[in-house]
């Protein structure tokens, strides 16, 4: 297996917005409760009720932005139920996710404290499906108004004098489905109305985010851009990768065969087609790309782990998921003009999680390690990389075996990330380095599996982790990299060697 490419170090293709490495946390299963929030009285080490081990893990990968409270939960969430004394907060049944009791102990103040501890920006999703314009307007006032107002006074009564900074506010979620089963024309009018009252107070400036399409619903994008494009700062897109073509039997997270390994990777590549076609529609109404495309739900979705609540969406995470993440980030990079945020679903214990918890234990998944290896690309300049790969074939189908991306960071370091999908053989990848000056040094990291469902467990939490990589060599103006089977590699060329 071989791949060849040209890396033009003197051709820049725009910035990779750090927010494409964003995350999503919903009141779903054990994401919030047990995963992020344990309460001040928990024996699990915590700070203000938020578990320390998970916060430290998320700080390590420089989480830039965190979306909350949903998801489908957002359009049945009434924010006033989650403020004030926790003992007096309303209890409810989480009808979307598992039919469990939601005690609202994790609400606005707790979420903003979580963001403070992580050092990330909040992305709040408002309730259009079952909420009112007044409710949404008052939430924005409660969060961001400084001065004399009913909501500012209520915030102060609840222990917070100063307003928070909130940049990202979603006006509804999946309003074509769980958020109200709306037609695009109806939602476009509702969006225009609701966003009017998502006001900027003082120096706070909010980017208003409209609910976009499910997967390949291009008509939704057409109607939203035509009828409401001038009122939005961003439009969303949701796409999940399923090994099989059935939502009732999606395929398992472990114990799968090569057919499902291949189909998962092939389907993850569909993200490029979706972004390309939705962006083309957006370009008709917004040729300057003022409106961002935000992929605020993406990732793999499998059958839940045996013996767990079906509504909790708890699944294991393998080297296959790491490759899906790598491929997806490469696609986001290629579309950096339009894609300026993405939020993997979900941060802890749900779907393609980066952290899994069990009591006081926490483990880092292979997907986490890709986020860690790729954090060097946040806010870096994309470099022109032209890569041609041999094929990974299975049955009558084939996909490129090697994918890559390259950036230069603010210190002048160049980072090249590559992934190799073939589980059987290594791949020799040769890159011609144009615009390269002498000097500098090379180093690398690799994440590789020894089986197609290799994963970390609480008994063996470090079976998969990045290791130092030396499988590369300079040959004149070329860099030759030998990629192990089913692997992700990031190489660093330290600054002063760039043109």
In degrees rounded to 5, what are phi and psi of residue 5?
-160, 170
| Cβ atoms of 261 and 267 closer than 8 Å | no
- Active-site pick, 26, 110, 138, 297: 297
Q: How far is CA 277 from CA 222, 284, 342, 411, in A?
A: 11, 11, 17, 35
Pair of tokens at residue 19: 């927010």
| Cβ atoms of 226 and 212 closer than 8 Å | no
| Cβ atoms of 148 and 137 closer than 8 Å | no
Handedness of CA 257, 262, 263, 267 (dihedral sign): positive
| Cβ atoms of 428 and 437 closer than 8 Å | no
Please, what's the b/e burial string for 266-295 (b: 16 or more CB within 10 A of its CB; e: otherwise)?
A: bbbbebbebbeebbebbeebbeeeebbbbb
Burial label for 86, CB within 10 Å (0-12, 13-18, 19+), is middle
Taking the C-alpha atoms of residue 107 and residue 130, their distance in angstroms, rounded to an integer, is 18
| Cβ atoms of 1 and 419 closer than 8 Å | no
Whether 258 sits among the annotated catalytic residues: the reply is no
| Cβ atoms of 7 and 383 closer than 8 Å | yes
| Cβ atoms of 352 and 324 closer than 8 Å | yes
Taking the C-alpha atoms of residue 207 and residue 169, their distance in angstroms, rounded to an integer, is 6
The DSSP code for 203 is T
Please, what's the b/e burial string for 424-444 (b: 16 or more CB within 10 A of its CB; e: otherwise)?
A: eeebebebebeebeeebebeb
Interstrand relation of 234-241 and 292-300 (parallel, antiparallel or unpaired):
parallel
- What is the DSSP track for 64-116? -EEEES-SGGGGG--GGGGSS-GGGSPPEE-TTTTT-EE---S-HHHHHHHHH
The DSSP code for 467 is E
Helix orientation angle between 270-285 and 218-228, rounded to the nearest 10 degrees: 30
| Cβ atoms of 270 and 221 closer than 8 Å | no
- Active-site pick, 174, 207, 260, 381: 174
Taking the C-alpha atoms of residue 408 and residue 405, their distance in angstroms, rounded to an integer, is 11
Whether 174 sits among the annotated catalytic residues: the reply is yes
Residues labelled as active-site residues: 174, 297
């Amino acid at each position: 297996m071989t791949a060849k490419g040209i890396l033009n170090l003197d051709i820049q293709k725009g910035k990779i917005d750090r927010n494409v490495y964003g995350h999503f946390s919903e009141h779903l299963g054990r994401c919030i409760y047990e995963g992020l929030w344990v309460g001040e009285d928990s024996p699990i080490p915590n700070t203000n009720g938020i578990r320390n081990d998970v916060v430290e893990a998320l700080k390590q990968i420089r989480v830039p932005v965190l979306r909350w409270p949903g998801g489908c939960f957002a359009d049945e969430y009434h924010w006033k139920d989650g403020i004030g004394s926790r003992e007096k907060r309303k209890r409810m049944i989480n009808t979307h996710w598992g039919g469990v009791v939601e005690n609202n102990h994790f609400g606005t103040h707790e979420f903003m404290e979580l963001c403070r501890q992580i050092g990330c920006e909040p992305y709040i999703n408002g309730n259009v499906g079952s909420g009112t314009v007044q409710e949404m307007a008052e939430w924005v006032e409660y969060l961001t108004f400084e001065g004399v107002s009913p909501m500012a006074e209520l915030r102060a009564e609840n222990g917070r004098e100063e307003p928070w900074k909130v940049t990202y506010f979603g006006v509804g979620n999946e309003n074509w489905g769980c958020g109200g089963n709306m037609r695009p024309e109806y939602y476009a009018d509702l969006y225009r109305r609701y966003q009017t009252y998502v006001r900027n107070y003082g120096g706070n400036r909010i980017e208003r985010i409209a609910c976009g399409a499910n997967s390949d619903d291009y008509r939704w994008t057409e109607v939203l851009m035509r009828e409401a494009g001038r009122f939005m700062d961003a439009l969303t897109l949701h796409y999940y990768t399923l090994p099989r073509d059935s939502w009732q039997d999606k395929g398992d997270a472990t114990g799968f065969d090569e057919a499902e390994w291949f189909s998962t990777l092939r389907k993850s590549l569909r993200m490029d087609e979706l972004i390309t076609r939705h962006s083309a529609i957006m370009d008709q109404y917004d040729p300057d790309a003022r409106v961002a495309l935000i992929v605020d739900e993406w990732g793999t979705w499998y059958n839940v782990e045996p013996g767990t609540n079906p509504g909790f969406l708890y699944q294991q995470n393998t080297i296959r998921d790491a490759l899906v993440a790598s491929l997806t980030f490469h696609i986001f990079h290629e579309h950096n003009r339009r894609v300026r945020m993405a939020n993997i679903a979900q941060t802890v214990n749900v779907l393609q999680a980066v952290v899994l918890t069990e009591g006081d234990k926490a483990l880092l998944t292979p997907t986490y390690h890709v986020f860690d290896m790729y954090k060097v690309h946040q806010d870096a300049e994309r470099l022109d990389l032209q890569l041609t790969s041999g094929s990974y074939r299975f049955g009558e189908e084939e996909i490129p075996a090697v994918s890559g991306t390259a950036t230069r960071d603010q210190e002048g370091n160049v980072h090249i990330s590559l992934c190799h999908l073939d589980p059987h053989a290594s791949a020799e990848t040769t890159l011609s380095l144009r615009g390269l000056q002498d000097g500098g040094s090379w180093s690398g990291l690799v994440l590789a599996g020894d089986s197609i469902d290799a994963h970390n467990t609480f008994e063996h939490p470090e079976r998969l982790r990045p290791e130092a990589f030396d499988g590369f060599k300079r040959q004149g103006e070329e860099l030759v990299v030998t990629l192990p089977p089913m692997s992700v590699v990031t190489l660093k060329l330290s600054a002063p060697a760039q043109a």
